[in-house]
Amino acid sequence: MDRQQSRSDRLIHQFDTALRTLMPHAASSQRTSPGEGVAEGVLDDQERRHAAGLMRINHTGEVCAQALYQGQGVTAKLPHGRHQMEQSALEKIDHLAWCDERLEQLQSRTSYLNPLFYVASFGVGVAAGAVSDRISLGLVAATEEQAGKHLDSHQQSLPSGDNRSRAILRQMAMDEAHHAQLALEAGGVRFPAPVKWGMRLASKMMTKSVYHL
């Protein structure tokens, strides 16, 4: 029989997850990177920097999503959907590891702003979970939907020769769509258009800063 976690156990788990999310190369994936075995195209310096900027944005997006899931776990009860949400969070660790690995291959790094975005997203997750599980799950669904749109856009924007990054983003987009559907099926409310517009605005601010930093 599983032992119920104490408050100290949960705090230790939260701290460990934060470290694995924020420390470069600390996240380890359960699945093989979709980019493994894909033939690497020829990229000039400008194309490599552009690809790295896009992959840095996607890595930070996964940092934010992981923080959202962790914050949600502090306050949301999720009696009917916790297992699915925990599985989604594990898959997002895969995304972190894949993006981190690809950035290293592109001779680049993760964003210096990740700790700031982690704290902000964690707080949003805590607040949403405190309001209600339906709002918390709805936020997850809306966030994953927004992430999917970014991933589709970035696949188009990547240099034509960057087949590895494109393969990674393609799988991530499929996962994000699945996560959004799970959150809605677990009882998440569909956010109205004005809320989604505000989320898109905040996302644009993040992408512009992270592309370079």
pLDDT for 103-138, tens place per residue? 999 999 999 989 988 888 888 888 887 788 788 888
Written out in words, the top-level CATH class of the domain with range 39-210 is mainly alpha
Cβ atoms 81, 141 nearer than 8 A: no
Residue 95 is labelled as binding a ligand: yes
C-beta separation of 166 from 112 below 8 A = no
Residue 99 confidence class, pLDDT cut points 50, 70, 90: very high
Looking at per-residue pLDDT, the higher value among 164 and 80 belongs to 164
Burial class (CB in 10 A: 0-12, 13-18, 19+), 178: middle
Reported as a pLDDT band with limits 50, 70 and 90, residue 2 is: very low
More confident call, 51 vs 208: 51
Cα Rg for the chain, rounded, in angstroms?
17
Task: Give the model's confidence band at 201: pLDDT under 50 very low, under 70 low, under 90 confident, else very high.
Answer: confident
Q: Is the pLDDT of residue 165 over 90?
A: yes
Please tell me the predicted confidence (pLDDT) of residue 57. Answer: 92
pLDDT tens by residue, 59-73: 998 888 888 888 877
Instruction: Confirm or deny that 150 is annotated as ligand binding.
Output: no
User: What is the spatial distance between Cα 43 and Cα 62, in angstroms, rounded to a whole number?
Assistant: 25
HSE-CB for 32 with a 13 A CA cutoff:
6
- Higher per-residue confidence, 137 vs 86: 137
- Confidence at residue 16, expressed as pLDDT on a 0 to 100 scale: 65
pLDDT at residue 26 tops 50: yes
What local confidence, expressed as pLDDT, does residue 82 receive? 63
Does the annotation place 62 within a ligand binding site? yes
50 annotated ligand binder: no
Does residue 27 register a pLDDT over 90? Answer: no
User: Which amino acid type is present at position 76?
Assistant: A
Task: Please give the pLDDT value at position 1.
Answer: 40
